[in-house]
Amino acid sequence: QVRLMESGGDSVQPGGALTLSCVASEDQFKDSCIGWFRQAPGKAREAVASIYPLGAHIYWLDSVRGRFTIARDNAQITVTLQMTGLKSEDSGMYYCAAKSDKNCYASEGRPEAFSTWGAGTQVTVSS
């Protein structure tokens, strides 16, 4: 089973930028759809973006298109989420998760479609 570990969360001011990283512990990662999710206090977990093994990607939230960029490096077994123009509503715990297959679109962004999760990294956007 793939194990995932996130890093890069921090506290930043509105308009700031962060890059989150998700590192997988096993080569199985290379064949899996990987997604970034976020969860604010009192709210449901929501899909932010997902990326196929060969790099095609889906942004599930209209609010992040043009500001967030998901990428993966299978040689380093890493998926990153570059976030710019951060807003207070981007605050929350960010998680990366892996599906057991490569089909990101079939997940429809549903958290239950992803079988392996990291522990999360906190992003706080506040002035």
Reported as a single tens digit per residue, the pLDDT across 92-118 is 999 999 999 999 999 999 999 999 999
Let me know: does 41 contact 13? Beta carbons within 8 Å: no
Q: What pLDDT, on a 0 to 100 scale, did the predictor assign at position 26?
A: 81
From the list 116, 104, 121, 124, the residue with the least C-alpha distance to 49 is: 104
- Give 22's Cβ-side CA count (13 Å radius): 32
Q: What pLDDT, on a 0 to 100 scale, did the predictor assign at position 2?
A: 58
Q: What pLDDT, on a 0 to 100 scale, did the predictor assign at position 76?
A: 78
In this model, does residue 60 exceed pLDDT 70? yes
From the list 30, 29, 42, 38, the residue with the least C-alpha distance to 81 is: 38
In this model, does residue 47 exceed pLDDT 90? yes
Q: What pLDDT, on a 0 to 100 scale, did the predictor assign at position 1?
A: 59
Q: Note every long-range contact of 53-56, with CB atoms under 8 Å and residues 24 or more positions apart, other chains counting.
A: 53/102, 56/104
Using a pLDDT cut of 90, give the percent of the chain over it: 88
Q: What pLDDT, on a 0 to 100 scale, did the predictor assign at position 57?
A: 96
Q: What pLDDT, on a 0 to 100 scale, did the predictor assign at position 27?
A: 77
